[in-house]
């Protein structure tokens, strides 16, 4: 069964097809095009996808959406970006799947992947989700356009860094179930305070389908604000958390020797409806993520028991908690890869995970970006969780880390460098077998290079 025929693409986008063809996938990055894909050639500020048409077809593209005539099988449209949105909307309109939307200041990609794993355990091969972190104005329609015709569940991550962005994305996704993982100081350069971030995240509920369910973090200080956003649009509101009063609540959480957590959760207000399960990933933040995910699974009518098994087997994601052993000298070190993103809340959560690891604790921390005028205070404020995590050596990367370097001076060994390449070279002179090394920072700092260098043994 093809994903799209040229006639369907033309009908969805208002374009004109050069001939008959069918595609099995969709991509807008020519480097990701594979056999049978539809390549959407978009014009951006830095590049023009039309320049890569030959490359895309050499890699096996079966057709393209273009805004300029070409010699390859194509659908000609006025604007390729508008056409991609239209194709995403057409995919959503034809789908009979139960659609779920996930957002939050922290944890949304991890929660999306966990939710996919839980649903896929019950409906193998019938669950579609956003890949990577394709959660913006181009990533969301792309993820929708890729959804198979016969998908039973669709899980879509939605992100934002300005007010109004989620309002647009949620109207495209139109979820049956919408979850907010947590509210935290992220992208604060664009918001007056955390309550404004909560308001922007609460926009996700405006796109709920009639009869839809809103999943809200009960422990959040912004709970009532989020409930206020959900109330006008949701037929059902389910809260999750560890505090009494949450609908889906952890009544027991016990750390395991393996680093994970054994949890007993009450799945609703009935005292006799409980679920015990293990979370493979360490940290209190993963307990919260899991409760939200299980609330979604329950709202979707899927199997909670199988979801619990999936959580027990869930591995860490690259850049978001993946744990690996790297060879150093005649031994090994533990590398915790949190290099994809960072804000004050996620920094604290991940440092807490490091605190439980054996061996010497080394924290490679990159600057947190888009924090606005409060950036210096947010960075300096990491001193408490760093000391609580028993970090013995802090390697700080980026200019914005200067305030933290100043307050750490004299308390623990601290090295402050300007970039990821210097950080890797410096780290190689400091590490020894038995160390536990946490690598975390905003993606733009490039600390993934540090992780790759440690795992490969190369600078």
110 is in an annotated binding site: yes
One domain, residues 31 and 133:
no
Q: Do 243 and 178 fall within a single domain?
A: yes
pLDDT by residue for the chain (459 residues), tens digit each?
799 999 999 999 999 999 999 999 999 999 999 999 999 999 988 889 999 999 999 999 999 999 999 999 999 999 999 999 999 999 999 999 999 999 998 889 999 999 999 999 999 999 999 987 788 999 999 999 999 999 999 999 999 888 899 999 999 999 999 999 999 876 667 788 899 999 999 999 999 999 999 999 999 999 999 999 999 999 999 999 999 999 999 999 999 988 899 999 999 866 568 999 999 988 889 999 999 999 999 999 999 999 999 999 998 778 888 899 999 989 999 999 999 889 998 899 899 999 999 999 999 999 999 898 899 999 999 999 999 999 999 999 999 999 999 999 999 999 999 999 999 999 999 999 999 999 999 999 999 999 999 998 754
The owner of tokens 């978001």 is: 320
Residue 212 assigned ligand-binding role? no
What's the CATH code of the domain at 436? 3.90.190.20
Q: Is residue 84 part of a domain?
A: no
Domain boundary among 257, 279, 313: 313
> Does residue 106 have a known ligand-binding role?
yes
Q: Which domain holds residue 367?
A: 322-456
In this prediction the pTM is 0.85
Give the end of a domain, one of 21, 52, 79. 79
Residues sharing a CB contact under 8 Å with residue 293, sequence separation 6 or more, in sequence order: 111, 114, 115, 118, 179, 307, 311
Q: Are 87 and 26 in contact, with CB atoms under 8 Å apart?
A: yes
Nearest to 276 by CA among 259, 256, 258: 256
CA distance 170 to 156: 10
* Within-domain flag for 88: no
301 lies in a domain?
yes
263 & 401 share domain: no
Are residues 133 and 206 located together in one domain of the fold?
Answer: yes
Distance CA(370)–CA(247), nearest Å, equals 34
Structure tokens at 262: 């054994």
| Helix, coil or strand: residue 256 | coil
Assess whether 279 and 425 both reside in one domain.
no
Residue 86 lies in a domain: no
My answer on whether 161 and 279 are in the same domain is: yes
**Distance, CA of 286 to CA of 422 (rounded, Å):** 32
Q: Is 109 annotated for ligand binding?
A: yes
User: CATH number of the domain that 49 lies in?
Assistant: 3.40.1390.10
31 lies in the same domain as 147:
no
Same structural domain, 50 and 112: no
Within a domain: 85: no
104 is in an annotated binding site: yes
Where do runs of H (alpha helix) occur along 314-456? 344-354, 375-380, 383-388, 402-408, 420-428, 448-456
Residue that terminates a domain, selected from 280, 313, 346: 313
Residue 275's φ and ψ, nearest 5 degrees, are -135, 125
């Amino acid at each position: 069964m093809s994903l799209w025929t040229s006639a369907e693409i033309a009908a969805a986008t208002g374009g004109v097809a050069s001939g008959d063809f069918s595609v099995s996938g969709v991509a807008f990055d020519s480097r990701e095009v594979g056999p049978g894909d539809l390549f959407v050639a978009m014009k951006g500020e830095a590049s023009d996808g039309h320049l890569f048409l030959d490359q895309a077809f050499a890699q096996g593209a079966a057709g393209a959406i273009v805004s300029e005539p070409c010699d390859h099988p194509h659908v000609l449209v006025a604007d390729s970006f508008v056409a991609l949105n239209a194709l995403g909307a057409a995919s959503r309109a034809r789908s009979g799947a139960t659609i779920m939307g996930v957002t939050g200041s922290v944890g949304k990609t991890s929660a999306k992947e966990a939710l996919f794993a839980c649903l896929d355990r019950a409906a193998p091969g019938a669950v579609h989700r956003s890949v990577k972190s394709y959660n913006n104005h181009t990533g969301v329609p792309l993820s929708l356009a890729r959804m198979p015709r016969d998908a039973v569940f669709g899980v879509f991550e939605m992100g934002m860094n300005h007010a109004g962005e989620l309002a647009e994305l949620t109207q495209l996704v139109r979820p049956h179930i919408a979850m907010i993982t947590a509210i935290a100081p992220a992208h604060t350069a664009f918001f007056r305070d955390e309550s404004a971030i909560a308001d922007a995240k609460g926009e996700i509920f405006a796109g709920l389908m009639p009869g839809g369910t809103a999943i809200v973090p009960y422990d959040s200080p912004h709970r009532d604000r989020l409930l206020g956003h959900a109330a006008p649009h949701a037929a059902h509101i389910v809260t999750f958390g560890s505090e009494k009063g949450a609908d889906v609540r952890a009544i027991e959480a016990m750390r395991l020797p393996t680093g994970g957590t054994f949890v007993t959760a009450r799945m609703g207000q009935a005292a006799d409806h409980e679920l015990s399960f293990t979370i493979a990933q360490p940290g209190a933040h993963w307990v919260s993520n899991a409760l939200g995910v299980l609330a979604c699974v329950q709202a979707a009518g899927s199997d909670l028991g199988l979801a619990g098994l999936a959580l027990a087997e869930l591995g860490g994601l690259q850049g978001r908690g993946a744990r690996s052993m790297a060879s150093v000298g005649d031994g090994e070190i533990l590398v915790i890869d949190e290099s994809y993103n960072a804000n004050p809340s996620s920094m604290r959560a991940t440092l807490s995970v490091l605190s439980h690891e054996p061996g010497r604790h080394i924290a490679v921390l990159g600057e947190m970006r888009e924090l606005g005028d409060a950036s210096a205070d947010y960075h300096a404020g990491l001193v408490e969780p760093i000391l609580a995590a028993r970090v013995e050596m802090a390697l700080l990367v980026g200019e914005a880390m200067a305030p933290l370097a100043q307050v750490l001076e004299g308390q623990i060994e601290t090295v402050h460098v300007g970039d990821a390449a210097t950080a890797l070279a410096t780290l190689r002179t400091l590490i020894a077998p038995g160390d536990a090394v946490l690598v975390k920072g905003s993606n733009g700092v490039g600390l993934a290079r540090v992780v790759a260098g440690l795992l490969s043994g190369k600078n």
